[in-house]
Amino acid sequence: MISQLITGAGYWSPLLWLAFLILFALIGYLIYSRGNPSYKKDTEQVKPYLSGNAEPAKEKIQVKASDIYWGFIEALKGYYKVLQAIHTGDLRDYILWYLGVGTIILFLLVGGA
Amino acid sequence: MIEHLPALMIAVPLFGAFVSPLFKKKQNIVAIWAILITAVTVGLSLLLMYQVRLNGVIVYVFGADKPTLVLPSGYKVPIRIMFEIDGIGAFMAISATLMSFVGALYSYSHVEGESGLEKYYALLLLLEVGILGMVLTGDLFNLFVFLEIAGIAGSALVGFRNYRGEASEAGIKYLIVSSVASLMVLFAVGILYGEYGNLNLAYISRQVSFNTLDMIAFGLLFASFAMKCGAVPMHYWVPDAYTEVPAGINPALLVSTYASLYALFRVSFTLFANISISLARVGWIMSVLGVLTMFIGVTMALVQKDVKRLMSYHAISQTGYMLLGVGVGLTVLHDPKALAEFGRTAMAGGIFHIINHIIYKSLLLMTAGALFYVTGTRNLNEMGGLARKMPITTLCFIVGAAAISGLPPFNGFASKFLIYESSYRLNPLLAVFAMVTSILTLASFVKVFASAFLGPPLEKFENVREVPKPMIVAMVILALLCILFGLFPDVVLDKLVYPAVDALINVAQYQSWGGLA
């Protein structure tokens, strides 16, 4: 019996998925292993083209964490401004949020009792 | 011995905690002692689950032969302290013991150079006692006492590295937040005791009349446990605490957070299960809190540079999935058709996600701890090219990152899949938010992978080596569990998760030990 996850709307079989993954990986490897006959190692052919600029040393190509998703964060600047403003790190604010949310929950529950 | 199993679950780690300070001069021995004690509790919790599956709900009474014993005056209410263990209690106990064991094993090398290790391990074992007490007790006042034990032990551990100002600050913040929540829990317990003259959960759940006072108590319990489990917008303490606590304590602290989530579920499903008018409203509150929690958590994680803080925001985000899954189930609890069609599956997804998240988040926080161990920094901007130096940590990170992002065939996918397919039936928007959160989670972990592990090797990390073996073993155990739970989700669901879900749904079973007025 193959392991299956029944959701009510369908099912998921991880072992079957794994079997197909291995199969397709093998097919991919077979295609890859046939190779490209025009490929010549250590020639101009394999060097990256950077709009005519010299390739910088590999040690200098370090992408910093804060540069990753810069565009995404810039596009959502307004959202992040609000979000970072409420994350004050002030313990008094932590308790105020708890009291505020607690009051809303109490209002919703007592109002419906 | 079997009949005293519930008492042993508390007695063994408590004994371990009190003996630990005796090894003050022998730091290695105290570490081995803690590993041994936590390993014994793993065995006991598995035995407990076996007993619950075999015999149903276990009721254990301290100081009496049977739970039905009443006062000689004929006052027909239960008078003893009781533990009442059903499927969800046993499920949580396994999570707590397993993570305490893995945490102790990891700590053997991770905190080797620190001083005061006898206190460290005593506090770890006390934290385990607090969690186990919370999930096993059948008594409201006991729940408060164990919540306090877990809170105090947890805050002391958060501030363990007190030579760092940030750690002390985080410890004090955690202590105060925990104390405020506990105080409100105590206030709610007082209200219920004043009304019904008893503290037994099963007893009160039968008597509760849902008047205004009861609803105030329910609201206080709901809000307090929601804050303790890190639900948005009461989550602010989580990144502070998870970031500063030593990585070996992260697994136990995670389970401690989810012990509060368990208490939230227990209060909603058992204590106040029979409120028919507003239960759907409570379910919607839980689901909306869940969606907010997952989305705000993940978007905050995306902009973090501190690797542990980033992962801490993900811990908040993942709690949202649990709230969503169980919230959907709670919304349709009094609608048998919807409950059978998708409510039970949604709850299974939520509960399954608890243990999955505990496993992969502990693994990820441990890999973050390993990065800190070898580089001395948590700043992702200062890291790079570590995959070559730390191949096993890198592999473990990949497994954990894939699991948290919900990639098949890892365990995170299995529970998220259940949540997507069932929450969609209540409202498609819920599933959309859950999926978008998963995509953002993957994006966030790609960032960690690219900045810490990939890239050219940095000169300053030239002499960096893989972390010591005990840390590796602890991480590999969790990585294997991520894979196994993902490949055989049906086994975990049948043996652990559905018994827990049915224990929550079937409140009559919890009340059925009889003898009550």
Q: Which segments in chain A show pLDDT lower than 50?
A: 113
Check A63 against B237: CB less than 8 A apart. no
Closest chain B residue to A63, measured at CA: B451
How far off is chain B from A1, nearest CA to CA, in Å? 11
Residue B26's region, left for phi above 0, alpha for psi from -120 to 50, else beta, is: beta
State residue B71's pLDDT score: 61
Does residue B350 lie within any of the structural domains? Answer: yes
Residue A101: count other Cβ atoms within 10 Å of its Cβ: 20
Interface test with A, best of B296, B303, B380 (most A CBs within 10 A): B303
Q: Interior CA angle at A80 toward A74 and A84, to 5°?
A: 135
Check B487 against A95: CB less than 8 A apart. no
- pTM value? 0.90
State residue B70's pLDDT score: 62
Does residue B454 lie within any of the structural domains? Answer: yes
Instruction: Domain of residue B369: give its range.
Output: 277-517
Does residue B402 lie within any of the structural domains? Answer: yes
State residue A91's pLDDT score: 92
pLDDT in tens, B382-411: 998 899 999 999 999 999 999 999 998 999
How far is the C-alpha of B316 from the C-alpha of A33, rounded, in Å?
A: 45
Residues from chain A that touch B234, judged by Cβ atoms under 8 A, are: 94, 97-98, 101
Does residue B182 lie within any of the structural domains? Answer: no
State residue B419's pLDDT score: 93
How far is the C-alpha of B187 from the C-alpha of B140, rounded, in Å?
A: 11
Check B380 against A15: CB less than 8 A apart. no
State residue A38's pLDDT score: 83
Does residue B37 lie within any of the structural domains? Answer: no
pLDDT in tens, B6-33: 999 999 999 999 999 998 888 889 999 9
Residues from chain A that touch B450, judged by Cβ atoms under 8 A, are: 63, 65, 68
How far is the C-alpha of B451 from the C-alpha of A20, rounded, in Å?
A: 32
Check B489 against A5: CB less than 8 A apart. yes
Does residue B384 lie within any of the structural domains? Answer: yes
Check B176 against A95: CB less than 8 A apart. yes
The domain total for chain B is: 1
Does residue B91 lie within any of the structural domains? Answer: no
**Could you state, in order of their start, the residue ranges of all structural domains in chain A?**
1-34, 70-113
Check B458 against A59: CB less than 8 A apart. yes
Closest chain A residue to B380, measured at CA: A65
Residues from chain B that touch A73, judged by Cβ atoms under 8 A, are: 302-303
Residues from chain A that touch B409, judged by Cβ atoms under 8 A, are: 14, 17-18
Residues from chain B that touch A25, judged by Cβ atoms under 8 A, are: none
Using DSSP bridges, classify how beta strands A5-6 and B82-85 pair: parallel, antiparallel or unpaired. Answer: unpaired
- Under 8 Å between Cβ of B122 and B20: yes
- Under 8 Å between Cβ of B241 and B250: no
Q: Which residue from B223, B409, B456 is facing A105, i.e. has the nearest CB?
A: B223
Q: What are phi and psi of B83, to 5 degrees?
A: -105, 135
Check B181 against A14: CB less than 8 A apart. no
Residue B63 DSSP SS3: coil
How far off is chain A from B6, nearest CA to CA, in Å? 32
B residues 357-386 lying closer than 8 A (beta carbon) to A: 380-381, 383-384
What tokens appear for B63 in the block?
Answer: 């100081």
Q: Which residue from A73, A84, A110 is facing B216, i.e. has the nearest CB?
A: A110
Task: Express the helix, strand and coil content of chain B in percent, nearest 5 each.
Answer: 75, 5, 20
Q: Cite the DSSP H helix spans in B341-468.
A: 344-375, 391-404, 411-426, 428-448
Question: What is the helix (H) or strand (E) element at residue A5, kind and residue range?
Answer: strand A5-6
B residues 83-122 lying closer than 8 A (beta carbon) to A: none
CA-closest candidate to residue B167, choices B177, B152, B176, B157: B157
Does residue B398 lie within any of the structural domains? Answer: yes
- Under 8 Å between Cβ of A113 and B210: yes
Mean pLDDT for back-to-back runs of 10 residues, chain B (517 residues) = 88 96 88 96 95 89 70 62 89 94 93 89 96 94 95 95 91 95 96 90 86 91 92 89 92 93 89 70 84 91 92 92 90 88 92 92 93 92 91 96 93 93 91 94 94 87 90 95 94 91 86 59
State residue A10's pLDDT score: 84
How far is the C-alpha of B269 from the C-alpha of B261, rounded, in Å?
A: 12
- Under 8 Å between Cβ of B265 and B346: no
Check A58 against B456: CB less than 8 A apart. yes
State residue B517's pLDDT score: 44
Cα separations in angstroms, B244 against A79, B66, B120, B235, B444: 27, 45, 14, 16, 21
How far is the C-alpha of B120 from the C-alpha of B39, rounded, in Å?
A: 17
Using DSSP bridges, classify how beta strands A5-6 and B58-61 pair: parallel, antiparallel or unpaired. Answer: unpaired
Q: ipTM for the complex?
A: 0.88
Query: What angle, rounded to 10 degrees, do the helices at B117-136 and B27-55 form?
Result: 10
